[in-house]
Structure 1
Amino acid sequence: MFTAINAANAYSTARNAVAPGSSEGVVDKVSDAASGFAQQMSQVDSVATGAMTGKVETHQLVQTIAEAELAMETVVAIRDKVVEAYQEILRMPV
């Protein structure tokens, strides 16, 4: 079932992806986060197909969609922070 623990884990993963001072480069972190998001969306597609063919139960479909929604909200929040930082840089006097 979709719980607050899942949300906390997703937040923790996203936070680590953009944490300063780690040995991994930012590009690698963003690439890993993007591939994780793509994997989550692929899982939603396969579960939805399974639900339509009767191979997957409805509650599994609902859980997968809820997890995908959380992943999408995390991606949008990260995108918003990047855009906000870029706009701040543009406003800096030269």
Structure 2
Amino acid sequence: MSNVSFSAYAALGSVQPTKTPEKPAQAEEGKSSGLAEGFSTFKAALQDAEQAAMQTAVSGADPHAMVEALAQAELVLDAAVTVRDKVVEAYQELLRMPV
């Protein structure tokens, strides 16, 4: 059997949060932005679902764990799509504003 690895979230691994200049009073070491945290959560949920699906398919692991991981990944994906839709809607509203 060949050892082929598929990764649906390879592009997320290369996403790095942009560094914005912070005000000196608000600069705290070790704090990440909410967006970077969201990407990390999204990536982790997809990784967990992929691992659970592979373990179930290959070694016959617990199918309930796979269903749970896939449901969690679906919830995270739905949240990401909702946020994306809101961002696109806000951008379109900005374009409609008279100058």
The alignment's TM-score, normalised by the length of structure 1, stands at: 0.67
2: CA distance, partners of 1:31 / 1:86: 21
* RCO higher in structure (CA 8 A, sep ≥6): 1
Q: Aligned partner of 1:44: which letter?
A: A
Aligned to 1:49: 54
Q: Aligned partner of 2:40: which letter?
A: S
Q: Tell whether 2:67 aligns with 1:71.
A: no
- Normalized per residue, the structure richer in helix is 1
Aligned to 1:18: none
Unaligned residue ranges in structure 2 (runs of 5+): 1-25
Unaligned residue ranges in structure 1 (runs of 5+): 1-22
Aligned to 1:35: 40
Superposition map of 1:11-30 within 5 A: 28-30=33-35
1: CA distance, partners of 2:61 / 2:45: 17
Q: Aligned partner of 1:87: which letter?
A: Q
Aligned to 2:86: 81
Aligned to 1:13: none
CA RMSD of aligned residues (A): 1.9
2: CA distance, partners of 1:51 / 1:37: 21
The alignment's TM-score, normalised by the length of structure 2, stands at: 0.64
CA positional deviation for 1:77:
0.3
Q: Aligned partner of 2:55: which letter?
A: G
Aligned residues: 70
1: CA distance, partners of 2:63 / 2:35: 32
Per-residue Cα deviation, 1:33-74 (whole angstroms, up to 9, x for no partner) = 011101110111111111012252111111111111111100
Pick the structure with greater CA Rg: 2
